[in-house]
Amino acid sequence: MPNTIADARTLTLSDIVDQLGVKPDDDGKVNDTRELRSRGKDLYVKEERGAHPSVVSRKLHREYAIERVRDSLAAEFNTLPDKAQQVLHDVFGREPTQITVKNLLRLHELGTSAKNLYEKCGHNLPLAFEAAKGVEEFPQLPQYEQIAKRKLPAEHKEAEKTKLLERVAQELIDDYVDQSKALKDLVKEEDRPELFAILLSKMSELPDSFGSCTRDQKAMWIRFASILGHTGKDPKTNEKYRIFSRDQLRCMTVEQRLTMLGTLINRFSQLRLTHDNWILGHSAKPKWAEENFAEQKTMWRLYIWISQGFGLDELAPLEEVRALESFIKAASKDAFFRDAYARWDDKNQKERMEVCQRLVDLYADKFILMQHKPSVAFLDAADCPPRAFTRPSVIHPYFDSINFNKEKVLTGDFCSACNSILHELTHCYQHELIWLKNTFQMNRDDPRHLRVKIFEFGTACYQLPSFFENLGFSEETALFAYKQNVIEQHAYQIGDYTESRMRELFAQQDTTEQKSESGETEQVNDSGE
For residues 182 and 165, the model is more confident at: 165
Tens digits of residue pLDDT in 375-403: 888 777 666 655 443 455 555 555 577 87
Query: Quick one: average pLDDT of 240-247?
Result: 83
Domain ranges of the chain: 13-27+55-133, 159-285, 314-511
Dist CA 109 CA 73 (whole Å): 12
| Confidence band, pLDDT 50/70/90 cuts, at residue 518 | low
- The predicted structure's pLDDT at residue 141: 47
CA atoms within 13 A on the CB side of 340: 28
Tens digits of residue pLDDT in 127-165: 788 777 766 655 544 554 454 444 445 555 677 778 778
Q: Which of 286-295, 360-369, 447-456 has the lowest mean pLDDT?
A: 286-295
Residue 259 has pLDDT above 90, yes or no: yes
Dist CA 366 CA 362 (whole Å): 6
> What are the φ/ψ torsions at residue 403 (nearest 5 degrees)?
-100, 115
Query: Quick one: average pLDDT of 297-326?
Result: 89
Please report, for residues 268, 277, 283, 480, the alpha-carbon distance to residue 287 in angstroms, rounded to integers and kept in the order given: 19, 15, 12, 31
- The predicted structure's pLDDT at residue 151: 47
Tens digits of residue pLDDT in 334-376: 999 999 999 998 998 889 889 999 999 999 999 988 877 888 8
Query: What does DSSP say about strands 231-233 and 240-242: parallel, antiparallel, or unpaired?
Result: antiparallel
- The predicted structure's pLDDT at residue 50: 55
Question: For the chain, how many helices (H) and strands (E)?
Answer: 23, 8
Q: Torsion angle, CA of 216/219/224/230, rounded to 10 degrees?
A: -150
Q: Taking the alpha carbons of 263, 269, 272, 274 in that order, is the dihedral positive or negative?
A: negative
Q: Which residues contact 458 (CB under 8 A, 6 or more apart)?
A: 430, 485, 486, 487, 488, 490
**Core vs surface per residue 495-522: b (16+ CB within 10 A) or e:** bebbbebbbebbeeeeeeeeeeeeeeee
Query: Quick one: average pLDDT of 287-299?
Result: 87
CB-neighbour burial class of residue 386 (10 A; exposed 0-12, middle 13-18, buried 19+): exposed
- The predicted structure's pLDDT at residue 260: 94
Q: Where are the beta strands (DSSP E) in 88-239?
A: 231-233
DSSP state of 35: B
Residue 179 CA to its chain's centroid (Å): 14
Q: Which residues contact 247 (CB under 8 A, 6 or more apart)?
A: none
Residue 120 has pLDDT above 50, yes or no: yes
DSSP 303-370: HHHHHTT--HHHHS-HHHHHHHHHHHHHHHH-HHHHHHHHSGGG--HHHHHHHHHHHHHHHHHHHT-S
- The predicted structure's pLDDT at residue 528: 44
Nearest to 70 by CA among 46, 43, 30: 43
Whole-prediction pTM: 0.66
Strand partners, 376: 402
Q: Torsion angle, CA of 202/114/81/69, rounded to 10 degrees?
A: 160
For residues 528 and 447, the model is more confident at: 447
Q: Which residues contact 490 (CB under 8 A, 6 or more apart)?
A: 315, 316, 426, 430, 455, 458
Dist CA 16 CA 32 (whole Å): 16
Query: Quick one: average pLDDT of 318-334?
Result: 92
- The predicted structure's pLDDT at residue 132: 79
Tens digits of residue pLDDT in 34-81: 899 998 888 988 876 555 556 667 888 899 999 999 999 999 998 888
Q: Reduced to 3 states, what is the DSSP secondary structure of residue 395?
A: strand
Nearest to 307 by CA among 183, 524, 44, 492: 492
Please report, for residues 235, 283, 293, 498, the alpha-carbon distance to residue 290 in angstroms, rounded to integers and kept in the order given: 29, 15, 5, 45
Q: Which of 118-127, 244-253, 275-284, 515-524 has the lowest mean pLDDT?
A: 515-524
Dist CA 482 CA 462 (whole Å): 8
Q: Torsion angle, CA of 277/279/283/287, rounded to 10 degrees?
A: 90
Query: Quick one: average pLDDT of 401-427?
Result: 82
The angle subtended at Cα 46 by Cα 40 and Cα 52, nearest 5°, is 70
Residue 426 has pLDDT above 90, yes or no: yes
Q: Where are the beta strands (DSSP E) in 391-495?
A: 393-395, 401-405
Nearest to 45 by CA among 55, 33, 53: 33
Q: Which residues contact 220 (CB under 8 A, 6 or more apart)?
A: 173, 206
- The predicted structure's pLDDT at residue 484: 92
